[in-house]
Amino acid sequence: MSEKPDMTALIGSRICHDLISPIGAIGNGVELLMMDGLGKSPELQLILDSVASANARVRFFRVAFGAAGPNDQKLSAGEIRDILTTLGRGGRIRIDWKPDDPSARREVKLVFLMILCLESALPFGGQIEILRPDQRWVVRGAGGKQRIDAPLWNLLADPTLTADLAPAEVHFAILRDELSRQHRRLSTKIDTDEISFSF
């Protein structure tokens, strides 16, 4: 019997799929206006930068919140770095993707959800590093003052717990549920100067 469909992920995929095309069209339209003699004004550059940021955010969300696909579906290191580099441009957090080999989309989904959890814990910015030593994923975040909301982080340790979630916190519950769906065990370590995940 097949696994019950993950309706949340399917909705995420559908929304992101439907948004990618119009966002790309806006960027193409602005580039055509610039070629048509309007030049590279600060206003048009602002629109282009905003479109690039929105496009990267939707691509990131498509992996983090969308359907993970079959076990053999892969994402190249170049594609992942492109998403994360554009996403971090001008932002408060720098993300460094170390693995060079293609990665299973299902595993990248977990890593992207962990990135969102680390972003929540680093409100003043910092650096997130993703490594894959010995076929095990390690996701580390370090920065300024941390904000650890214990009920949210406890969700990751105990699947029986519940918490009142704001929209900006939903990734904690989705990460927990996706770990269970993939039959993976997460190790979390919170120090004063670093937070790390491994699975």
Reported as a single tens digit per residue, the pLDDT across 134-173 is 889 999 999 978 999 999 999 998 888 888 899 999 999 9
Amino acid at site 65:
F
pTM higher than 0.85, yes or no?
Answer: yes
Neighbours of 129 (CB within 10 A): 16
Are 56 and 80 members of one domain?
A: no
Averaged over 31-55, what is the pLDDT? 81
Are 86 and 5 members of one domain?
A: no
Are 149 and 102 members of one domain?
A: yes
Give the confidence band of 2 by pLDDT, cuts at 50, 70, 90.
low
Are 91 and 121 members of one domain?
A: yes
Which of 10, 37, 67 is the endpoint of a domain? 67
**What distance lies between CA 129 and its chain's CA centroid?**
13
Integer Cα distance of 162 and 157 in angstroms: 11
Integer Cα distance of 199 and 194 in angstroms: 17
**Whole domain around residue 44: which residue ranges?**
1-67
Reported as a single tens digit per residue, the pLDDT across 54-69 is 999 999 999 999 998 7
* Pick from 3-7, 108-112, 135-139, 170-174: least confident: 3-7
Give the confidence band of 199 by pLDDT, cuts at 50, 70, 90.
very high
